[in-house]
């Protein structure tokens, strides 16, 4: 009888824990992504957060809300993870490392594996269909590539304070309690973080929200142009001052006079070289595609994820993440496709 009672108690405890904590999983994931700049690291950190919360749930005395308690665990976990990174506590985009290059035939487009590169995040992991439209827009804007890339230039503790205060709107006293510092320290840290971020803040047109029909139309035109190796179609699709960057390649380019030649000469190849599939929901608040590149045997090998920053009915920036590990996160196979494969390749 005692064993049955213990089992019932364990099930009740698990049910209570899930009911109290699961509603915050998506926003905690977005928080860890902003802090770490990596969707793969954020997944691990959220799992670690829930494991630690489970272990210590019995000692949670309600001195704060469950949401605040979970954010405290997640934030300190992120700070610990950032401190463990040997090279740097930030992930970057090529545009954050220096000015654009002028394209020439001899331009070096080799991967730079010394840097830790920013990764994209599926919108499906940070928003839900059940949320009201205003909440969906806010969630998408909170993970824009330009914003997350800017955050990465802040020292880890400044990053934590700014996200907790300005993005999540926690009171300064609660942030101080989470980080075990004084309220005065939070306020001074926030002031320094805001000053640094203001220098790198994205322009208004970089975070403009395209309408759904516009985004879909632009995405379809991009896929068609790429799969047909049509540089002229891409010329009509890109803004005059559009930019292209492709981590882990360090070089990046700005302006049609540079972007179109690099695409035509070094990327597009011949028709059929690329297969691209729309990412349901997009990435970082933008339209996105999963890309596969045909090898010499005619099989399409996994490439990665491409995010399009859309302004009106044109593309202002292409950020091409050449990392096949990202594909399963976005619902696609990290494996070769047959040449006559399906129109989509979900898991």
Parallel/antiparallel/unpaired status of strands 314-321 and 300-311: antiparallel
- Residues 233-247, mean pLDDT to the nearest whole number: 97
User: In sequence order, what are the residues at sequence separation of 6 or more whose Cβ sits closer than 8 angstroms to the Cβ of residue 118?
Assistant: 37, 38, 91, 92, 93, 145, 148, 149, 152, 247
- Compute the average pLDDT of residues 23-36: 95
pTM for this predicted structure: 0.89
* 63 HSE (CA, 13 A, CB side): 7
Mean pLDDT check: name the lowest of 17-31, 52-66, 150-164, 223-237.
52-66
Domain 92-144+202-347 has CATH 3.10.450.50: yes
pLDDT score for 97: 93
Q: Over range 161-183, report the average pLDDT.
A: 95
Instruction: Tell me the C-alpha distance between 71 and 48, whole Å.
Output: 12
Tokens representing 132 are: 């009201």
Distance, in Å, from the CA atom of 211 to the CA atom of 315, rounded to the nearest integer, reads: 13
pLDDT band at 225 (very low <50, low <70, confident <90, very high): very high
Determine the average pLDDT of the residues in 306-313. Answer: 94
Contact between residue 347 and residue 333 where contact means Cβ atoms under 8 Å apart: yes
pLDDT at 20: 87
Per-residue pLDDT, averaged over 225-239, amounts to 97
* Structure confidence at residue 210 (pLDDT): 62
Query: Which pLDDT score, from 0 to 100, does residue 142 have?
Result: 85
CA 81 to chain centre: 17
What is the model's pLDDT at position 127? 82
Mean pLDDT of 219-229: 97
How far apart are the C-alpha atoms of 260 and 49, rounded to whole Å?
45
31-62 pLDDT per residue, tens: 999 999 999 999 999 999 999 998 877 666 66
Token pair in block for residue 100? 């654009």
The encoded tokens of residue 165 equal 């205060």
Domain ranges in the chain are: 92-144+202-347
- The rounded distance, in Å, linking the Cα atoms of 148 and 32 is 11
For residues 23-32, give the mean pLDDT: 95
Q: Comparing 199 with 282, which gets the higher pLDDT? A: 282
Q: What is the mean pLDDT of the chain?
A: 88
The two structure tokens encoding residue 214: 């516009």
Confidence of residue 203 (pLDDT cuts 50, 70, 90): low
Least trusted range by pLDDT, from 21-25, 61-65, 96-100: 61-65
Q: Is the pLDDT of residue 201 over 70?
A: no
- Mean pLDDT along residues 27-34: 96
98-156 pLDDT tens trace: 999 999 988 889 999 889 999 999 999 998 665 666 677 777 788 999 999 999 999 99
pLDDT at 61: 63
Asked if residue 260 lies in contact with residue 237, where contact means CB atoms within 8 angstroms, the answer is no
């Amino acid at each position: 009888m005692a064993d049955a009672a213990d089992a019932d108690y364990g099930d009740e405890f698990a049910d209570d824990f899930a009911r109290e904590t699961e509603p915050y999983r998506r926003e905690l994931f977005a928080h860890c992504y902003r802090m770490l700049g990596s969707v793969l690291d954020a997944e691990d950190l959220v799992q670690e957060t829930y494991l630690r919360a489970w272990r210590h749930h019995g000692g949670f005395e309600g001195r704060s809300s469950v949401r605040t308690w979970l954010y405290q665990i997640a934030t300190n976990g992120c700070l610990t993870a950032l401190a463990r990174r040997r090279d740097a506590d930030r992930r970057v985009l090529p545009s954050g490392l220096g000015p654009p290059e002028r394209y020439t035939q001899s331009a070096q487009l080799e991967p730079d594996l010394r840097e830790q590169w920013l990764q994209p995040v599926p919108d499906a992991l940070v928003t839900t269909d059940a949320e009201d439209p205003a909440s969906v827009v806010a969630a998408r804007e909170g993970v824009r590539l330009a914003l997350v890339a800017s955050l990465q230039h802040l020292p880890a503790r400044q990053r934590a304070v700014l996200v907790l205060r300005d993005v999540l709107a926690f009171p300064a006293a609660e942030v101080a309690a989470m980080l075990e510092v004084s309220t005065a320290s939070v306020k001074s840290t926030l002031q320094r973080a805001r000053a640094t971020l203001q220098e790198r803040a994205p322009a208004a047109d970089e975070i403009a929200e395209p309408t759904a029909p516009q985004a879909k139309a632009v995405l379809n035109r991009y896929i068609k142009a790429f799969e047909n190796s049509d540089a002229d179609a891409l010329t009509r699709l890109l803004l005059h001052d559009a930019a292209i960057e492709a981590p882990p390649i360090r070089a990046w380019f700005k302006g049609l006079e540079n972007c179109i030649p690099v695409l035509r000469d070094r990327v597009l190849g011949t028709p059929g070289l690329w297969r691209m599939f729309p990412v349901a929901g997009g990435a970082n608040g933008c339209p996105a595609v999963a890309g596969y590149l045909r090898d010499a045997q005619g099989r399409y090998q996994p490439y990665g994820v491409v995010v399009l920053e859309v302004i009106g009915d044109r593309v202002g920036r292409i950020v091409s993440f050449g990392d096949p590990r990202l594909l399963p996160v976005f619902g696609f196979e990290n494996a070769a496709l047959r040449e006559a494969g399906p129109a989509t390749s979900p898991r």
